[in-house]
Structure 1
């Protein structure tokens, strides 16, 4: 088993759920399609037989057809998350949340639409009290981060069957991290990044609710990388990226963060939860970069019947009860990014660019020295 952040001796606040994952929120499922083909020497330009990419699917209530309360926020908008206009106006997400690479947003959106139609994973229109099957509206939610340092992004390697694979493979419980799904070709703080997850379980006094996080981490500069207040970017030696092509300045990248909770919160509160995500990102030394798309979305699995064509009844938590939830968000985001870094493995990509895994032994030794 790969060591996660806590096993390296990193000090992290809060009690996690059973799996320390977004799937600790009951009903949430996650699936991946990981696309790794060819060797670096097979890359001869756009469309080569070479790929390091994939798709991630998050199903808020698993395979149950449902609509969930949702909110969002972006720290820096140099990225994409589809379906946001309807999310802002209605406060709902209909269906799965998908994450992929920048140039595959279109195919993923089209494919998840097809999947939702084939599986009747939408609420039909109602006319004169009757449901009209085959007719309804929904706006798929698809986020992206750019993997062009390692992947042949312009080769459009993500296909419909990869999207279907991620959706059909979705499950609860323990989920993989690192070089998987949409996070396959990603870079974080100039080390190998990717997919990471974490959760927080609130105390009984605070409601006993769960907050789960999944990140696709492709952001941050090494010089500002910080763990537990220690400037790791200055202290870590070796593991320097190998770039054989002109690259954008360090920190140019993105992070997509998906929050889940079982707390009965409304869309405004979910958006406010998203506004606490930058605290977790900032504790690790990122969030300053103009070239990064830092985009966050949150949903609640409570209030199952809040979306209805008749009369909706929703239970809403008072704002005065939100403080522990906001802190749980920041803490879980910090840990999810660290878990992505701990799980990710060294990868060589196009033009023989090479991004090394976080040198975890060095990190553990630096932390141990600080404690001594």
Structure 2
């Protein structure tokens, strides 16, 4: 593929900035200029994206982030450095936040947490937002959603909120419990449609993906009118996978970019038991073996669609997400929490004067295009998270490098993918 067009977009894309990153405890008061996304680099994974190529292409869906970045140097528990945050996905926006949607979940590997799923899978309904944060902040974010709902006279409707997590303790003072109620509230109150900030934002601020800096990513697909014209969007919090197995469109990128392994910048090795083999950055320029345990981490995937699907069909959609993760090099490793949620924005409630809800259901024989869209958009969302992320230095001076765009493209060209 001719690369001139994608690179002509580069200068323009670097001038853009997106709304939605809050600066609480942050050295960053506004979003950094965006970097080229996968499609701008000629990487599509197939299919037609929506106009924003984001989960917000699904009508009604809004997303908000609170990003917490402060401090540097040696880890002092309770003080920092802080590299964390909260992301909120509202299926019907704030005004209709308590109006349920049909939903279902699936776990490829359950070494993680997503609250509220017992009743969600029992009832087939999701009421309220889907919140993403770090492992140790699930409780405070869960309580914050309940309190946020109570302030709006929605205590019953939002009493079992969905809060999911991935572990950011390699870069963040995770035992310092820096995420507070007001941070979850800010993500909810500032959620909006339009472009979705990606990379080192919200719940994805301190995450690592396939040995590179990870975070939040999103993508969408719009089906042709002959297949219903439906829109399907995906948002991921990407914190999983080994470098060795990382693949893009069948190209073993992790084998082609074996250096740029995590290292530490300080005079002392990190205190975390997960980083016993880590080397100083001054000594690791040519290091090509992983410095953090392979397969450590997790990935949360939220799939939204306006297709008229019932809960059992949404469960089938959620079960297709692992196909995308496998294509990217994930195995659902023992230490990984790979948990997925799918919802449909079709009306799910009965009218006020009747106990009977009249809903639609797409014929099962027409689900295949949505399965394909799920696999395509999930792959692209993962890569978008990595492409948007910046190199980050966090607690104990641990540094995790961003995926270098030009070297990614070089690997794709080597294998005839560009």
Query: Is the pair's TM-score, using the shorter chain for normalization, greater than 0.5?
Result: yes
CA contact (8 A) 1:239 1:359 kept: no
Cα RMSD for the two superposed structures: 1.6
- Cα distance in 2, alignment partners of residues 177 and 135 from structure 1: 32
Secondary structure at the residue paired with 1:337?
A: helix
Alignment of 1:323-362 (within 5 A): 323-362=368-407
Corresponding residue for 1:208?
229
CA contact (8 A) 2:72 2:397 kept: no
- Cα distance in 2, alignment partners of residues 114 and 37 from structure 1: 26
Structure 1 residues 135 and 147, CA gap change in structure 2 (3 angstroms)? closer
CA contact (8 A) 2:106 2:340 kept: yes
Corresponding residue for 1:241?
262
Corresponding residue for 1:128?
none
- Cα distance in 2, alignment partners of residues 323 and 135 from structure 1: 37
Q: Cα deviation per residue 1:129-175 (whole Å; 9 max; x = unaligned)?
A: xxxxx655641000000000100000000001101110011000101
2:171 to 134, 139, 150: 150
Corresponding residue for 1:262?
306
CA contact (8 A) 1:9 1:364 kept: no
Corresponding residue for 1:110?
143
1:80 to 104, 113, 137: 113
Structure 1 residues 282 and 135, CA gap change in structure 2 (3 angstroms)? closer
Alignment of 1:1-372 (within 5 A): 1=14, 2-41=35-74, 43-44=75-76, 46-65=77-96, 66-120=99-153, 122=154, 138-242=159-263, 244-245=269-270, 246-247=273-274, 249-306=293-350, 310-371=355-416
- Cα distance in 1, alignment partners of residues 233 and 411 from structure 2: 29
CA contact (8 A) 1:75 1:287 kept: no
CA contact (8 A) 2:238 2:300 kept: yes
CA contact (8 A) 1:226 1:284 kept: yes
Which consecutive residues of structure 2, in runs of 5 or more, have no partner in the other structure? Answer: 1-13, 15-34, 275-291
CA contact (8 A) 1:21 1:214 kept: yes
Secondary structure at the residue paired with 2:244?
A: helix
Once the 2 structures are TM-superposed, how far is the Cα of residue 26 of structure 1 from its aligned partner?
Answer: 0.3
The structure with the largest strand share of the pair is 1
Structure 1 residues 203 and 150, CA gap change in structure 2 (3 angstroms)? same
Once the 2 structures are TM-superposed, how far is the Cα of residue 304 of structure 1 from its aligned partner?
Answer: 4.3
Higher RCO, 1 vs 2 (CA within 8 Å, ≥6 residues apart): 1
Once the 2 structures are TM-superposed, how far is the Cα of residue 103 of structure 1 from its aligned partner?
Answer: 0.3
Corresponding residue for 2:289?
none
Structure 1 residues 36 and 78, CA gap change in structure 2 (3 angstroms)? same
Moved over 4 A (4+): 134-137, 306-309
Q: How many residues align?
A: 358
**TM-score normalized by the length of structure 1:** 0.93
Which consecutive residues of structure 1, in runs of 5 or more, have no partner in the other structure? Answer: 123-133
